[in-house]
Amino acid sequence: MTIIRHTFSLCAMSLAANAFTMQLPNPSYNPRISSLNSVDSRIASGTTNPAAMSSYRQPRITKDVIEEVDQIIVQGGSLRTCAFDEGINRVTVMMKTEGRPLNANVDLWQGPDNTPQKMSIYLEDGSKRLFRAIVETPGSSNAVSIRNTAQLEYPLTCGMEIETDDSPAPMATADYRIVQGGAVYTLPFAPEVQSIKVSLKTDGRPMNARVELLQGPNNNKEILEVYTEDGLERPLNLILDSPGVGNVVRIVNTATVEFPISASLEPYIIDASVHEGSSGSGMTWR
């Protein structure tokens, strides 16, 4: 399976909106990325190693993955969009800050006035817990928009990794649990679990859900609200960074009882040494 990482070619479309495109590579030359508003283009290097594995199939921390892709700055209150060719089946969206809170909306656009998937994200600390989600992009005319809903003083950094492989979506290996409409599903994790994989899907019906990472009673470190018009064609896969102790993931089905979802939670990266030295002085700051 080959993963292509592309350099984002950016061009300001307005004071509040920018766009960039990704073109599929031709095997005879390096990937070429063109600006939407310019006839000039440049050659961008990409990873064409057949042995390369996607970052979510080969467990790696998000901080390392985002450093290997080209990044863009999204200022507070601004919008960036990225359009994809038809052969791109899924996109890994990663976002971080320099230690400040992160508030953003990530939407999947498919054609005019059609938004089959929407996500609203809040991170308490965008450098300690980075955002990382897999967006399925079947069909054509797909684009992903990143809107920083925070104020100007809170910029965020975004990076994307695309996949052109025809393999199915990387769903969780753990058992799925049915979460009925209006129900809540919580699961605590041990201190040695450094990141958690969350998978949500339906049987083809729409999905409305909220995913929360808590560390202590009602202490939300990360909140994600998601809407998907077809939870089978576009399932949700998240990687939640979970440093420290007392981490709990809470899944809330915000739809009515007629729209159940299937949820799977499992450890993604485990550091056994954390548990051994976690006692320390007996104090834990959250």
Could you read off the pLDDT of 113-137 as tens digits, one per residue? 899 999 999 999 999 999 999 999 9
Determine the Cα–Cα distance for residues 182 and 56; give it in Å rounded to an integer. 30
| Residue 172: inside a domain | no
pLDDT of residue 111: 85
| Residue 285: inside a domain | no
Question: Whole domain around residue 232: which residue ranges?
Answer: 177-275
Residues 85 and 202 in one domain: no
Identity of the residue numbered 11: C
Residues 151 and 187 in one domain: no
Last residue of a domain, one of 163, 191, 209: 163
pLDDT bin (cut points 50, 70, 90) of residue 280 is low
Residues 12 and 136 in one domain: yes
pLDDT digits (tens, 9 = 90+) for 242-268: 999 999 999 999 999 999 999 999 999
pLDDT of residue 272: 83
Residues 255 and 221 in one domain: yes
pLDDT of residue 45: 26
Q: Kindly calculate the radius of gyration of the chain based on its CA atoms and give it in whole angstroms.
A: 19
Residues 122 and 206 in one domain: no
pLDDT digits (tens, 9 = 90+) for 40-86: 222 222 333 333 335 556 788 999 999 999 899 999 999 999 988 88
Count structural domains, the chain.
Answer: 2
Last residue of a domain, one of 163, 188, 214: 163
Residues 151 and 32 in one domain: yes
In the chain, DSSP finds a helix count (H) and a strand count (E) of 2, 21
pTM of the model: 0.76
- DSSP character string of 148-208: E-S-TT--EEEEEEEE---SPP---SSPPEEE-TT-EEEEEE-TTEEEEEEEEE-SSS-EE
CATH of the domain at 214: 2.60.120.680
pLDDT of residue 112: 85
Residues 147 and 26 in one domain: yes
Residues 75 and 182 in one domain: no
Last residue of a domain, one of 129, 163, 197: 163
| Residue 234: inside a domain | yes
More confident residue, 88 or 205: 205
pLDDT bin (cut points 50, 70, 90) of residue 286 is low
**What average pLDDT does the chain have?**
80
| Residue 49: inside a domain | yes
Residues 157 and 205 in one domain: no
pLDDT of residue 29: 33
| Residue 168: inside a domain | no
| Residue 283: inside a domain | no
Residues 146 and 23 in one domain: yes
pLDDT of residue 169: 62
Determine the Cα–Cα distance for residues 150 and 245; give it in Å rounded to an integer. 28
Residues 26 and 110 in one domain: yes
Residues 68 and 30 in one domain: yes
Q: Is the pLDDT of residue 7 over 90?
A: no
| Residue 286: inside a domain | no
| Residue 181: inside a domain | yes
